[in-house]
Structure 1
């Protein structure tokens, strides 16, 4: 059985070699660590949850100030 010939190296319009490798893994300019990104996501999520909790407390306090807002318990 004969081995098929290997294709020659393809070059793109800019003269660089074309590959099937994703550029995200080959770029050396971006040195953002995954730990930094994960930390920023966690801080953002905690801040968002804290803000929602504060809005809930504020809403309950404002509702408690209104006349006739006493809750009836069975």
Structure 2
């Protein structure tokens, strides 16, 4: 069996495939956790601003979205 005939594509075994998949999932979960914390911090900042500044910040956030 040649290297490129592996049923796991570029991976040598199911174990190698699973290990790399788990690492990717850990990275994605870490990013999601970090972004969640940033989102909460921004919400707290918005709530702590006076109403005039809050409106300005919300308008800037809306224009920043795609």
Give the structure-2-normalised TM-score.
0.54
Return the structure number with greater relative CO, CA threshold 8 A, min gap 6.
2
Superimposed CA distance per residue, residues 26-63 of structure 1 (whole angstroms, 9 cap, x where no aligned partner): x3224612111110000001111111111110000011
**Consecutive unaligned residues in structure 1, runs of 5 or more:** 1-26, 69-74
- The structure 2 residue matched to 1:44, chosen from 14, 19, 24, is 24
- Number of paired residues? 42
Compare CA radii of gyration and give the structure with the larger one: 1
Moved over 2 A (4+): none
Give the structure-1-normalised TM-score.
0.49
